[in-house]
Amino acid sequence: MDPKQLQMLRELMELEFVATELTLYLDTHPDEEAPLRHYNAVAGELTYKKRVYEAAYGPLFSFGFSPSQYPWQWIKGPWPWEIKY
Amino acid sequence: MWIYEKKLQYPVRVTKSDIPMAKYLITQYGGPDGELSAAIRYLSQRYTMPTDKSKALLTDIGTEELAHLEIIATMVYQLLKDVPPQQLRRKGLGAQYTQHDHALYPSDANGVPWTAAYIQSTGDPVTDLHEDMAAEQKARTTYDHLISLTDDPGLIDGLRFLREREVVHFQRFGEALNDVQGFMNSKKVF
Amino acid sequence: MTSRYTSYPPPGHKSGRPPVGPVLPPGLRLAEAYVPWQTYDQVFSPREALEKGTLFPELFRAIPPRKP
């Protein structure tokens, strides 16, 4: 996989991990404002960066969550377990 | 409804050198204290949790455990990839190859297939959350053992990530227990 | 010959006499486990968070030294 794609993927992993941690924290602390603001900021940044990634490298989601060019790009490899990170 | 993202939660780095580790790692795929047990346990218990917080948390941690299942699968897949049968046999994976070739199959480190006997879902939310906290400790201990067994720095890196997730999950389940106990106590009629 | 051990006395307990006043912090009950609530304070950078496996420094637990 080309280094630029790997780097973008890594960035998405990092941001999404922050969002995951905040999700779990907010599940048990739903009334706290600061972590919720943090979560929304990360969610916004993620949405943007995922679209940039997908425009270059194809859909990250199927089932209607991402668009695809022709032909159906979702099936294209490499699949996550095949990548040498 | 579940959605799959075509991206690992954590980047897995494996060299092909520590092949016997595949036999031990598989316990976190299909063993008693592994990620499949965790996912099915939490996703089953969530239906009868009494509070919004506990329903959400069981759903979200259960979902994250499926992502961890994928990480373990990737480690095993990459360890075994292109390794010829005779070499698998020399490294103690002959039985595995006989029954499963290079495929992923949910079993423990001795080949015992996964069973729902590894989980409980009692319907008592206090009981279920205690089971969940114990499960996170058992998983964390198993990762301690796996880390001690290998010298591959890439594998250790991924295992340390998974281990730390168990610590965080324990904290969250503890908070959910506080919440649920508070709720159950406030419901008492004298 | 049997050996006896003294179990760790609860706070405020003088030998031979029951404790005076409440020994539990407020809100806690016997036979109920309780985990301290985390508060949102310091966070790691996204890069360090992913590497360590948590966003929160106070939840990070370094791995124990390797057994020989």
Average pLDDT over residues A69-74: 98
Whole-number Å distance between alpha carbons of C42 and A38: 12
Is the pLDDT at B66 greater than 90? The verdict is yes
Number of other CB atoms surrounding residue C68 within 10 Å: 4
Using a CB-CB distance cutoff of 8 angstroms, which residues of chain A are in contact with residue C55? Answer: 17-18, 21-22, 25
What's the pLDDT at C24?
72
Average pLDDT over residues C40-45: 97
Of the pLDDT bands very low, low, confident and very high (cuts 50, 70, 90), residue B190 is very low
Across the interface, whether the CB atoms of A17 and C40 are under 8 A apart is answered: no
Which of C40, C50, C56 is the closest to A14 by Cβ? C50
Give the nearest chain B residue to C66 (CA atoms). B148
> How many contacts (CB atoms, under 8 Å) link A and C?
31
What's the pLDDT at C63?
84
Task: List the beta bridge partners of residue B113.
Answer: B107
Q: Most A CBs within 10 Å: which of B1, B2, B5, as the mutation test of the A interface?
A: B5
The predicted-structure confidence for A11-33, as pLDDT tens digits, reads as follows 999 999 999 999 999 999 999 99
Is the pLDDT at C20 greater than 90? The verdict is no
| SS3 of C4-55 | CCCCCCCCCCCCCCCCCCCCCCCCCCCCCCCCCCCCCCCCCCHHHHHHHCCC
Measured between CA atoms, how close is B142 to chain A, in angstroms? 22
Write down the pTM of the prediction: 0.92
Closest CA to C39 of C61, C59, C62, C60: C59
| B64 flagged as catalytic | no
